[in-house]
Amino acid sequence: MQLIDGKEIARQIKAEIAAETAQIKNSGGKTPHLAAVLVGHDGGSETYVSHKVKACEECGFNSTLIRYENTVEEWELLEKIDELNRNADIDGFIVQLPLPGHISEQKIIEAIDFRKDVDGFHPVNVGRMAIGLPCFISATPAGILELLKRYKIETVGKHCVVLGRSNIVGKPVATLMMQKATPGDATVTVCHSRSKNLKEMCLQADIIIAALGQPGFLKASMVKKDVVVIDVGTTRIPSSQTKSGYRLVGDVLFDEVAPLASFITPVPGGVGPMTIVSLMKNTLLASKGEIY
Ligand code: GUN
């Protein structure tokens, strides 16, 4: 079994991005600038956004954090998005999800100029990805593919089972795994909460990408020997053992699945750190105008 060290790969990629950014800045080019809009004080969102701001510093980017209380009105956010769309210094921006119930996430996503949508959530980017055109690919799926690439994991003709059909992970990663590309060219099955023969599907899988948000869902009895397991789950559960008062738990029962796997990602330290660097990559691409 080989552990996929997302933390180490993310460190390498961040160093590559930082080196390229330093070169751009030294030759008088524009400093990449990412803005993040954070609504409310959800613990998970606070952590993710602070990691994104820190990653910007490490890459040599400028960053701007715009905060609102939970009571913010939808029109206020839409006004801010309009301003960010028109601000030439901002190369890309994200609105951290989830948003409070009185705000339409879809309306917010669609208000973002797709050329600045470094999250890759806008329907234009999703659609372009689906037909293999240059676009911003959302960070978690992009991070997963980068891990497969850097660990030289064969995907051609393999049976890849994706657990979960979210717009952020399940759907896009399934699309990417079946595209004519490397990594890609896999035969993909998408399973979800209404799937009937989930265990049988998993037992046939060469690669399992678990993105259900159900702690410990994937067990040893559900996988075949030498399976590749990518665990996207990041459920926070209370813990008296950590400073933060919680710990992250994946969708895979790591201790029992790992001995059967050829490759497996841990939680934390697997897919999570890759998500952040993929966002940095998209921001650099946006700044260089390489996509649009
Ligand atoms: N909430 C959970 N993951 C993400 C992400 O990748 N981007 C944004 N904007 N919100 C999220």
pLDDT value of position 20: 98
Helices 6-26 and 271-288 meet at what angle, rounded to 10? 20
Same domain, yes or no, for 145 and 233? yes
What pLDDT band is residue 244 in, cutting at 50, 70 and 90? confident
Same domain, yes or no, for 116 and 64? yes
The verdict on the CB of residue 139 being under 6 Å from ligand 1 is yes
Residue identifier of the C-alpha nearest atom 9 of ligand 1: 96
3-class DSSP assignment, residue 288: helix
pLDDT value of position 74: 98
Residue identifier of the C-alpha nearest atom 11 of ligand 1: 97
pLDDT of 49 strictly over 90: yes
Q: Is residue 203 part of a domain?
A: yes
CATH number, domain of 43, equals 3.40.50.10860
The verdict on the CB of residue 167 being under 6 Å from ligand 1 is no
> What's the rounded Cα separation, in Å, for the pair 43 and 93?
20
Total number of domains in the chain: 2
- The best mutation among 45, 103, 144, 168 to test binding of ligand 1, ranked by most ligand atoms within 8 Å of the C-beta, falls on 168
User: How confident is the prediction for the chain on average, in pLDDT?
Assistant: 97
Q: Is residue 159 part of a domain?
A: yes
Same domain, yes or no, for 161 and 265? yes
Same domain, yes or no, for 49 and 117? yes
Is-catalytic flag, 119? yes
Residue numbers of the domain that contains 71: 28-125
| Among candidate residues 97, 125, 153, the one where a domain is terminated | 125
* Helix, strand and coil in the chain, % to nearest 5: 40, 20, 40
Average pLDDT of the segment spanning 78-101: 98
Single pTM value for the model: 0.96
Same domain, yes or no, for 82 and 179? no
Average pLDDT of the segment spanning 22-40: 98
Q: Is residue 22 part of a domain?
A: no
Same domain, yes or no, for 101 and 172? no
Which value, to the nearest 10 degrees, does the dihedral of the CA atoms of residues 56, 175, 216, 276 take?
0
Mind listing the pLDDT tens digit for each residue in 155-196?
999 999 999 999 999 999 999 999 999 999 999 999 999 999
Q: Quick count: other Cβ atoms within 10 Å of Cβ 50? A: 13
Contacts of 247 (CB under 8 A, 6+ apart): 236, 237, 239, 241
Q: What percent of the chain has pLDDT over 70?
A: 100
Q: Is residue 292 part of a domain?
A: no
pLDDT of 251 strictly over 90: yes
Q: Is residue 1 part of a domain?
A: no
> What's the rounded Cα separation, in Å, for the pair 216 and 231?
10
Q: Is residue 13 part of a domain?
A: no
Q: Compute, in angstroms, the gap from residue 96 CA to the centroid of ligand 1.
A: 5
pLDDT value of position 170: 98
Instruction: Locate 176 and state its tokens.
Output: 């990417």
Residue identifier of the C-alpha nearest atom 7 of ligand 1: 96
Is-catalytic flag, 241? no
Same domain, yes or no, for 144 and 267? yes
Same domain, yes or no, for 34 and 79? yes
The verdict on the CB of residue 206 being under 6 Å from ligand 1 is no
Residue identifier of the C-alpha nearest atom 1 of ligand 1: 97
Mind listing the pLDDT tens digit for each residue in 102-154?
999 999 999 999 999 999 999 999 999 999 999 999 999 999 999 999 999 99
Same domain, yes or no, for 143 and 268? yes
Same domain, yes or no, for 268 and 171? yes
Q: Is residue 254 part of a domain?
A: yes
Q: Compute, in angstroms, the gap from residue 167 CA to the centroid of ligand 1.
A: 11
pLDDT value of position 253: 98
Q: Is residue 10 part of a domain?
A: no
Same domain, yes or no, for 151 and 266? yes
Same domain, yes or no, for 145 and 266? yes
CATH number, domain of 192, equals 3.40.50.720
CA 283-289-292 angle, to 5 degrees, is: 100
Mind listing the pLDDT tens digit for each residue in 51-84?
999 999 999 999 999 999 999 999 999 999 999 9
Is-catalytic flag, 179? no
